[in-house]
Amino acid sequence: QGLLRRSVSHSFLSFASITGACRAIQKLTRVRVVDNSALGNTPYHRPPKCIHVYNKTGVGKVGDTILLAIKGEKKKALIVGHKMPGPTMTPRFDSNNVVLIEDNGNPIGTRIKTPIPYILRQREGEFSKVLAIARNFV
């Protein structure tokens, strides 16, 4: 019922944030999958949630890998943008964006329409395939 409070898109997976002040991504944050993979785009009665952050601190920023629970499955994902303001001159997005990824780092989708921050280009080695499918950079 809380999900339907702000009906934004035709699907009942509302991509607009529901909670007020959001910080960076940690366990149990609802995220938005931005690639065109089937797993990320088929509607489900529960939004994809983060269940683990592969980090010393449990807080994930841009470029960190997290474990997502989508459609009853566990999948790794890469954070490409969050609501928390980061260092100056870096973009701050209106939603917590995430790209689904395999264990070896290959993205599952084939296209990313939403803008990706340029900072990710720093780690070209690990994320080269994700950056290759990205269309817009900010």
Q: Is 11 in the site for other proteins (CB under 8 A)?
A: no
* Contact pick of 12, 44, 54, 118 for other proteins (by CB under 8 A): 118
* Contact pick of 11, 12, 16, 46 for other proteins (by CB under 8 A): 16
The token pair at 49 is: 């949630």
Measured CA to CA, the distance from residue 120 to residue 127 in angstroms comes to 8
Contact in structure between 37 and 100 (CB atoms under 8 Å) = yes
Encoded one letter per residue, x for contact with other proteins by CB under 8 A and - for no contact, window 74-113 reads -------x---x--xxxxxxxx-x---------------x
Encoded one letter per residue, x for contact with other proteins by CB under 8 A and - for no contact, window 19-58 reads -xx------------x------------------------
- Element (DSSP H or E) covering residue 76: strand 73-81
Contact in structure between 83 and 25 (CB atoms under 8 Å) = no
- Pairing outcome for strands 32-33 and 97-101: parallel
Measured CA to CA, the distance from residue 81 to residue 97 in angstroms comes to 5
Name which of 94 and 102 has its Cβ closer to other proteins. 94
Name which of 14 and 65 has its Cβ closer to other proteins. 14
